[in-house]
Amino acid sequence: MADAPITQDVMTIPRKLPEGPVNLVGLTRAGMREALIANGTPEKQAKMRVGQIWQWIYQWGVRDFAAMTNLSKAFRADLAEKFVIEIPEVVSKQVSEDGTRKWLVRIAGGHEVEVVYIPEDGRGTLCISSQVGCTLTCSFCHTGTQKLVRNLTAGEIVGQVMMARDDLDEWPVPGAPKDETRLLSNIVLMGMGEPLYNFENVRDAMKIAMDPEGIQLSRRRITLSTSGVVPEIARTAEEIGCQLAVSFHATTDEVRDTLVPINKRWNIEVLLDALRAYPKVSNSERITFEYVMLHGVNDSDADAHRLVKLIEGIPAKINLIPFNEWPGAPYTRSSNNRIRAFADIIYKAGYASPIRKPRGEDIMAACGQLKSATERARKSRKQIAADAGL
């Protein structure tokens, strides 16, 4: 599997469907303006209308044009004819003993992706997906065993955030006192897919999530995780400016080539160069290095020492992830003692080295396990590929 070619076998779909009403969710402000003008809104009014509609959709969570009471009745009726406000549909929801929620949502074409909410001390992190499956074939990742079906649109990406706010009942009520507690306080792009292979849609969706007149999440509360798509890292700093996490996982090219095969294209040295430049350009504090602990593969003291040496000079935090096993996985999880010893070496070198607490294990909601049992129980891989025309 490690030798599988690195491809970007993505079936692109148009951002606007050629016929039928246009979905307003996922359009940037400029895109929404264009769409309104194309459908008859006078140019002079377009900017103001975008501002009004934007607030209804993203600040108040309104899905029905009829409820947009600061717009004339005629305009609302017109909008309802030409546009829709649509987000992915929830197919199923599971709640773990520890409060973690996992939803399976359906997107256009009948494909399904998973979204996970992890509560923590009155706040919580939403883990969202950027692709159905993944074209990369990291050997320890369950998502990587599944053939990519397609990129998600910007609307389907930000739609996951909106869906979660619906389910958490977290849209503010107009006129009510402002509630500062946010159940959904952080977003991580750590679900299914490689976000930097779907750059524009991820960027647009995150811009919408950050917009001060909408969902209003600070760019410091959004973390994008990449396996190391080097050319897009500088762009992420410039065009999104969110926090960056990188799936590092190994300290030699030899081992990283087998775990994260994209390393064959952009190796450790090239990746580190890109990471060194990131904090300055994005004005973010530090990079998170994700490191999955695999028994006997990448978890020795020598690895820990090498890791510290490699990242020298980069403001960093090392997030150690105990391997989440899945049926048929070719690895096992490092022992707790080994993980602690590894963490200790990194900590003593002056870096934060938190060990990620597995959450939602009883519902298979952990990193790298997504898109697992649910779809697999219904369809074989061959069937999925055939359905997708691959």
Does 288 sit near ligand SAH (CB under 6 A)?
A: no
Among the residue ranges 146-154, 220-228, 269-277, 296-304, the one whose residues contact ligand SAH (CB under 6 A): 220-228
Residue nearest to ligand SF4 according to CB distances in the complex: 144
Task: Please give the distance of CA 290 from its chain centroid, rounded to a whole number.
Answer: 15
Kindly state whether residue 223 participates in binding ligand SAH, applying the rule CB under 6 A.
no
CB of 190 to ligand SAH, least distance (A): 4
9 within 8 A of 148, measured Cβ to Cβ: yes
Stretch that binds ligand SAH, among 74-82, 137-145, 231-239, 308-316 (CB under 6 A): 137-145
Choosing among ligand SAH, ligand SF4, none, which partner's interface includes residue 160 (Cβ < 5 to 8 Å by kind)?
A: none
Per the CB < 8 A criterion, the answer to whether 186 and 124 are in contact is yes
Contact residues for ligand SF4, defined by CB under 6 A: 134, 136, 138, 141, 143-144, 193-194, 227, 247
- Give the helix ranges, DSSP H, for 129-252: 154-167, 199-210, 230-239
CA–CA separation, 175 and 191 (whole Å): 35
From ligand SAH, ligand SF4, none, which one binds at residue 333 (CB under 5 to 8 Å depending on kind)?
none
- Catalytic member of 138, 141, 242, 367: 367
Angle between helices 154-167 and 199-210 (to 10 degrees): 40
| Beta strand ranges found along 12-61 (DSSP E) | 22-23
Confirm if 159 and 99 have CB atoms less than 8 A apart: no
Element (H, E) at 318: strand 316-322
d(CA 134, CA 209): 23
Catalytic annotation on 200?
Answer: no
- How big is the site for ligand SAH, counted in residues (CB under 6 A)? 17
Side-chain half-sphere CA neighbours of 207 within 13 A: 20
247 binds ligand SAH (CB under 6 A): yes
Q: Tell which one of 35, 210, 346, 367 touches ligand SAH (CB under 6 A).
A: 367
The Cα angle at residue 272 between residues 270 and 275, in degrees rounded to 5: 115
Whether 28 and 204 have beta carbons less than 8 Å apart is answered as yes
Catalytic member of 114, 232, 290, 375: 114
Residue selected from 54, 140, 342, 351 as contacting ligand SAH according to rule CB under 6 A: 140
Paired sense of beta strands 89-95 and 101-106, if any: antiparallel
Q: Is 367 a catalytic residue?
A: yes
What is the pattern of x (binds ligand SAH, CB under 6 A) and - over residues 291-310? -x------------------
| Of 137, 223, 225, 353, the one binding ligand SAH by CB under 6 A | 225
| CB-nearer residue toward ligand SAH: 23 or 125 | 125
Tell whether residue 287 is a contact of ligand SAH (CB under 6 A): no
Report the chain's C-alpha Rg in angstroms: 21
Residue 222, binding choice from ligand SAH, ligand SF4, none, Cβ under 5 to 8 Å by partner class: none
Give the Å distances, CA to CA, from 273 to 157, 224, 259: 29, 18, 20
Q: How far apart are CA 84 and CA 95, in angstroms?
A: 30
Binder of residue 248, out of ligand SAH, ligand SF4, none (CB less than 5 to 8 A by kind): none
Instruction: Find the part of the chain contacting ligand SAH (CB under 6 A) among 72-80, 97-105, 224-232, 296-304.
Output: 224-232
Supply the minimum distance, in Å, between the C-beta of residue 299 and ligand SAH. 13
Which residues participate in catalysis according to the annotation?
114, 367
